[in-house]
Structure 1
Amino acid sequence: MKPLFFVHIPKTAGTSFRHGAERAFGFDKIVYDYGQDASQTSVLTRECMYGESPDPWRLYRRSLDNQAMMLAGHVTAAKYVPLCGVDRAVTFVREPLQRAASEYSHFQRIHQYKGSFRDFMKIPLMLDRQSSIFKGVDVEAIGMVGLTERYSESLELINARFGIDIAQREDNRGKPQVGELHDIAPEDEQEFRKLNPLDLALYERCRKLFESRIQLYRDNLPFAHARLTQFDAERVGGWAWWEGGADTPVDVEVWVNDEHRDTVSATQLRPSMARLKLPRGGYVGFQLKVNLSAGDRVQCRVAETGQWFPPGPRRVAVASN
């Protein structure tokens, strides 16, 4: 079985998750990549990724030989998704302002950072910190995106999805409890929101995705990884596949202005997404020819379950002159 790929975003309860995974799988069954100089980075990762000739495939094959259950670290989603597959990827995201405040507190405690929170948030690495980690990988495609603020429910979904049993822990905390709020000056909050529009949008996207997923789980209905990627005057298109990679294609209803326009099956090849190792060999796309006008509202729905995507309608843009 392919190992899970845990994308550990700093200060999102990831340390609690990986320590829980160590107890569930065994420390020797997890391969860590926290960077060349990090003490947590596994010997195998140093050998394969931080020598003269980095070789991700060798790392993956050696991990399989060692029956590793998880590959994890402070890395971008794109780094190991081509090996493990996007359906095996797991991560947590957190409300951006609180996450940044927690990382600032961590830098003060661990690295003796002396600057102000305003100074810290302007460090280039800290700008849109979470969204930069997902560059090139849509969050809708990732096997499971949990929320730090709803850690228990997220862990329940992860365990159910992958048939594992990771217990809840709370480690590396800057606050007494996971999710407890940091006090932030209003002027700092205002500045943060100006500097991090992508992270704010990403979190809202993930929050709505989580709400949809947890409701389907409670209703004992399957979740579909799905995204609307094209909606204009002539075409509506996107991609969809079932959680767990079932071979059955997803039937997608296309709705325009709250009316069901047509139903199509997601069976078209998406070669641009091949590096994600998609289910169904990449034959997960759909497209419908339409005749729409500027301002029309477009939304899709999974026919079998009623799962809407995106969560709210999108409007067809006005054509530029």
Structure 2
Amino acid sequence: MKIVIVHIPKAAGTSLKEAISAKVGIDNIYFDYNRPLAKGDLSRNLGCLASSIAAKPRRESIIFGHFLVGKYARFNGYYFRRRKKIFYVIFLREPLQRAISHFFFWKRTKVQGHHVWERFTQENWSLERFLLSKEHTNFQAKFLWRFPLKQFDFVGLTEYFQDSVEMLGRVSPLLRGLPIKIKNSNPKNSMGVNYSIDSCLAAEFMRRNELDYNLYNQGVKRFLIQKSKLLKAKE
């Protein structure tokens, strides 16, 4: 069975990617990093649909990267449906914390060829400008365009990363015992430590990102259900 892992930026995906690479070897992983959110909504979604229709089987055991999950699913006219013999994995993060982390990552990192990052840099976006930008509104939900979260086999949470990785290994033997090291975190803000911002800005961000918060809340419920089942199985 193949494993498809959606890497949402700033949701501990880099740490997971390096651990999986060390465990199974890069020859067994297809890295799909085509920066879908650097494109407009229409172009991104049409590209996802076209890729789904034209998809060819890959030899690698794992597909990992920044891509709309529908790219590796079947389109039924409105929704994407999971393909047989594929195990779907995603890690989510509290939307505001993810977005702030993304802002500081872009501040300290060159992302050449990404037109949104180029605007961000040239116009010297403030944190407020970044958080309220159209490009970063409902950022996580965009990766799941017409692919319901319930279709994922495993949902992990960045806030409970170690538990998530352990749980993932219990439901997917290929990913058992991953050698996790935290990577790519803001050196001024350790993993698991929340950023603090103006309460009015935080409230406005939450209002504009309803889809992301609905998605994240679904993810938390899924995570807790998974954890409860695995704990019972462990007893």
Question: Normalization by structure 1: what TM-score?
Answer: 0.58
- With CA pairs under 8 Å and 6+ residues apart, which has the higher RCO, 1 or 2? 2
Q: Distance in 2 between matches of 1:35 and 1:215?
A: 36
Q: CA RMSD in A?
A: 2.4
What stretches of structure 2 of length at least 5 have no aligned partner? 37-46, 75-81, 111-119
**8 Å Cα contact 2:70-2:147 kept in structure 1:** yes
Matches of residues 1-321 of structure 1 in structure 2 within 5 Å? 2-35=1-34, 60-61=56-57, 63-64=58-59, 68-82=60-74, 85=84, 88-111=87-110, 113=121, 114-164=124-174, 165=176, 166-175=178-187, 176-220=189-233
Greater helix content: 2
Q: Which amino acid counterpart does residue 2 of structure 2 have in structure 1?
A: P
SS in structure 1 of the partner of residue 164 of structure 2: helix
SS in 1 for 2:30: strand
1:249 aligns to what? none
Q: Cα distance, 1:200 vs. partner?
A: 1.1
Counterparts of 1:138 and 1:96 in 2: how far apart (Å)?
A: 18
Once the 2 structures are TM-superposed, how far is the Cα of residue 3 of structure 1 from its aligned partner? 2.0
Q: 1:86 to 1:184 in 2, by over 3 A?
A: farther
Q: Which amino acid aligns with 1:173?
A: S
CA deviations on 1:107-146 (whole Å, 9 max, x unpaired) are 1111473211110022222101111211211112201110
Seq. identity, %: 25
In structure 1, distance between residues paired with 2:86 and 2:198? 40
Residues of 1 paired with 2:230 and 2:18: CA distance? 25
* Mapped partners of 1:216, 1:156: distance in 2: 13
Amino acid in structure 1 at the alignment position of 2:164? S
TM-score of the pair, normalised by structure 2: 0.78
**Greater fraction strand:** 1
Matches of 1:128 and 1:60, distance apart in 2: 30
Pairwise CA distance, 1:184: 1.4
Which of structures 1 and 2 has the bigger CA Rg?
Answer: 1
**CA offsets per residue over residues 249-300 of structure 1, 9 Å max, x none?**
xxxxxxxxxxxxxxxxxxxxxxxxxxxxxxxxxxxxxxxxxxxxxxxxxxxx
Number of equivalences? 201
